[in-house]
Structure 1
């Protein structure tokens, strides 16, 4: 256990998500939240004058890219450990984040309850990662050999309906079920029903796994 609370700052533009992270940090006596910003520029300005042990960064910020916030933190506070918490779980976002200086990477899907433990692990010298991120790092390290799963794609992958594909693309972009419903003109309950069908057809158990599997199968032509 750290002798004094670990000083934490976070930048996340979605108010609901930010408040959830704030509660998770406040609930652990080993952590102390010093600052929570909704924009990258505000966090960069704050970091210039306030030492912090751990910085949590969302990549999809509305002004300054999260990668720039990470690079700035590494310049002005080299001792600060940076961890990404993002809806993006693909190599196109993961690799640049690590190259910029992040030491951990969590996908928002299901990370909130364990956030405090991950922050403490990071501060202790670890590199917390969501399983889907660790898997992609392993695949990248193993080289460009064809993925075995390509030869045994889930039986239902070819049976996705046009609406299910639309829901999948919106979820892959980080939309909540409510946002996806608003975009498609359907209810949140209907979106959830489509997501359940997606899970069954892709043989997965979470949004993150569904997006990963869809990318591997070429179902997300924009990614």
Structure 2
């Protein structure tokens, strides 16, 4: 499997350099560039079209969530992982709803952060343990805590199309042909549906989407 083309968006120069060095030393990843603010990041993803984007949320000229949302639209095959000091519920759930594939806190070295990215290869979503525990607690609550919805059903047009087709019995390769994309892109949309709907299977995703009224 070819290495993932990896780009970084981080305004702290020292951490950016350390993160870039860790990526370059990690088998399975190929460093293609870094940016320090939102405009540079937008140009970077347009120029390099990365397959993995590491994004800090606190940027000098905007919020990292806006970049995640833009990259999710423009690069449907791209995995996006937040790397941030922010660990509050609003930042966590907001980033996942925007399309992030994972969320890692800057609690260890850059090399330790990059090491956690390897779960992406197996279809996983890298998540710092403290955030994973909080997410599990939130999912176990009934009803959910005020201000933290049980799920965020703001599915994109493409994600809705994939779920609708899957609910009608189409296979991923058939859906890919219908949409004019690759099966890998369809699988990426499905993973985003899982995260937003907070489920772990296609059957659960379809059932949840129907319950919420977003597909018929």
Question: Which is higher, the Rg of structure 1 or of structure 2?
Answer: 1
Establish whether residue 73 from structure 1 lines up as the match of residue 77 from structure 2: no
CA distance in 1, matches of 2:113, 2:46: 25
Alpha-carbon displacement from aligned partner over 1:80-131 (angstroms, at most 9, x marks no partner): 0000000011102101000000010000011523233322322442101001
**TM-score normalised by length of structure 2:** 0.63
> Who is 2:17 aligned against?
19
Does structure 1 retain, via aligned residues, the 8 Å contact 2:34–2:44?
no
Does structure 2 retain, via aligned residues, the 8 Å contact 1:54–1:119?
no
Alpha-carbon displacement from aligned partner over 1:26-76 (angstroms, at most 9, x marks no partner): 112321110110011111122123221100000011112100010011011
Give the alignment's Cα RMSD to 1 decimal: 2.0
Alpha-carbon displacement from aligned partner over 1:1-23 (angstroms, at most 9, x marks no partner): xx222110010000011011011
Match of 2:114 among 106, 113, 116: 116
CA distance in 2, matches of 1:37, 1:66: 12
CA distance in 2, matches of 1:37, 1:47: 10
Establish whether residue 60 from structure 1 lines up as the match of residue 58 from structure 2: yes
Match of 1:135 among 133, 136, 160: 133
CA distance in 2, matches of 1:16, 1:144: 43
> Who is 1:125 aligned against?
123
CA distance in 2, matches of 1:74, 1:124: 20
Alpha-carbon displacement from aligned partner over 1:143-176 (angstroms, at most 9, x marks no partner): 268x9xxxxxxxxxxxxxxxxxxxxxxxxxxxxx
Distance 1:135 1:28, change over 3 A: same
Does structure 2 retain, via aligned residues, the 8 Å contact 1:86–1:107?
yes
Q: Structure 1: where are the runs of 5+ without partners?
A: 148-223
CA distance in 2, matches of 1:125, 1:32: 18
Match of 1:40 among 18, 38, 41: 38
Q: Structure 2: where are the runs of 5+ without partners?
A: 146-216
> Who is 1:96 aligned against?
94
CA distance in 2, matches of 1:26, 1:61: 23
Report the more deviating stretch, 93-102 or 25-34: 25-34
Q: Give the match's secondary structure for 2:108.
A: coil
Q: Give the match's secondary structure for 1:48.
A: helix
Count the aligned residue pairs: 145
Does structure 2 retain, via aligned residues, the 8 Å contact 1:82–1:102?
yes
Does structure 1 retain, via aligned residues, the 8 Å contact 2:42–2:67?
yes
